Homo-oligomer: A and B are copies of this chain.
Amino acid sequence: MTTRRPPEPRAPRRAARATLDRERVVAAALALVDRDGVERFSLRRLAAGLGVTPMAIYNHVQGRRDLLQAVADRVVAGVAYPAASRDWRRTLRGCFRALRHACLAHPGAVPLIESADALPAAVFRPMEITLTALRAAGLPPRDALRAYFLLTTFTLGQVGYQTRGWSRGVDAAAALAAGRVAPEAFPAVARAAAGRGGWSFDAAFELGLEVIIAGLAQRARGAAR
The one of B127, B191, B203, B219 in contact with A214, judged by C-beta atoms closer than 8 angstroms, is B219
Question: Do the beta carbons of A124 and B181 come within 8 Å of each other?
Answer: yes
A211 is contacted by which of B115, B120, B135, B216 (Cβ under 8 Å)? B216
Q: Are B146 and A208 in contact (CB under 8 A)?
A: yes
**Chain A 212-225 interface mask (CB, 8 Å, partner B; 1/0):** 11111011000000
Asked whether B118 lies within 8 Å of A149 as measured between CB atoms, the reply is: no
List chain B residues, Cβ under 8 A from A210.
Answer: 215, 219
Q: How large is the interface on A (under 10, 10 to 19, 20 to 34, 35 or more residues)?
A: 35 or more
A128 partner residues in chain B, CB cutoff 8 A: 185-189
Contact in complex: A124, B186 (CB < 8 Å): yes
Shortest Cβ distance from A161 into chain B, in angstroms?
6
Stretch at the interface among A11-19, A55-63, A152-160: A152-160
Binds B, one of A22-30, A40-48, A165-173: A165-173
Say how far A114's CB is from chain B's closest CB, in angstroms.
6
Q: Mark A169-206, 1 if CB is under 8 A from B, else 0.
A: 11010010000110001111101100101010001100
Interface residues of A (CB under 8 A from B): 111, 114-121, 123-124, 127-128, 131-132, 135, 141-147, 149-150, 152-154, 156-158, 160-161, 164-166, 168-170, 172, 175, 180-181, 185-189, 191-192, 195, 197, 199, 203-204, 207-208, 210-216, 218-219
